[in-house]
Amino acid sequence: MRNFHLGLVAFAAALAMPLSALAESNITTGAGSPLTATARLDFKIVVPKIIYVRIGTGANLAANGTIDLLTFTVPAANVGDGTVISGVGGDIGGGVVTARVIGNNGAITFGSTTTGPLSDGVGDTISFAQMAVAVAANTSVLPLASPALVDGATTNIALTPNIGTKVTNLDAKWTFTYLNGNIVPQGTYGGVNTNGGRVTYTASMP
């Protein structure tokens, strides 16, 4: 009687096993040479759709809440004389930031948005047209282009996936400078999410 109950327990346990846990097995017998047996295994990989943007401080394919501040200080002797002013700040330093876009579902629209010109808060402004950006290669063969900065507007560029795939993986080093082309009133223009100083970069993908 005890053996009978043990058999029932084993049978019930086998029925309770999920189908995915059942493996195929085969046995071959006979006098053939070679004598072979086969068993098969199926694989399935599930990859989510992702889109990733990094401008400045960040970690690849991970969220990071740090927003870099680039500061351009004009010497008194050079106000408005066209001397290009380098910045400080950025994850690389010297007004240089890492820029990267990754997506895995086709063409990406990549854009920059400003809320207006940079302002000193009392009515004086400096146009984003006075901000220049030089794009240099980082790790990708084709550097990631920088959308133009236009006062109070969004400008978009199209990013094409790698040939024959739906994958886009582009990065670059962007170096920002202030062109210093006009004499403007003294003051601090822009800032940390104030006086039009913030630019938002957005990537969208089907």
How buried is residue 205: exposed, middle or buried, by Cβ count under 10 Å (0-12/13-18/19+)? buried
pLDDT of residue 151: 98
What phi-psi label fits residue 21: left (phi over 0), alpha (psi between -120 and 50 degrees) or beta? alpha
Domain ranges in the chain?
51-204
DSSP type of residue 124: -
Q: Which residue has the tokens 């820029």?
A: 99
Residue located via tokens 């920059």: 112
pLDDT digits (tens, 9 = 90+) for 168-183: 999 999 999 999 999 9
N residues, the chain: 206
| Interacting residues of 36 by C-beta distance below 8 A, sequence separation 6+ | 28
pLDDT of residue 22: 60
The closest of 136, 132, 147 to 85, measured between CA atoms, is 132
Across the 206 residues of the chain, what is the mean pLDDT of every consecutive 10-residue run? 44 46 84 94 98 96 95 98 98 98 98 98 98 98 97 98 95 98 98 98 98
SS3 readout for 166-180: CCEEEEEEEEEEECC
Name the residue among 186, 196, 177, 171 with its Cα closest to residue 89.
177
Comparing CA positions, the residue from 138, 154, 162, 165 lying closest to residue 204 is 154
pLDDT of residue 21: 52
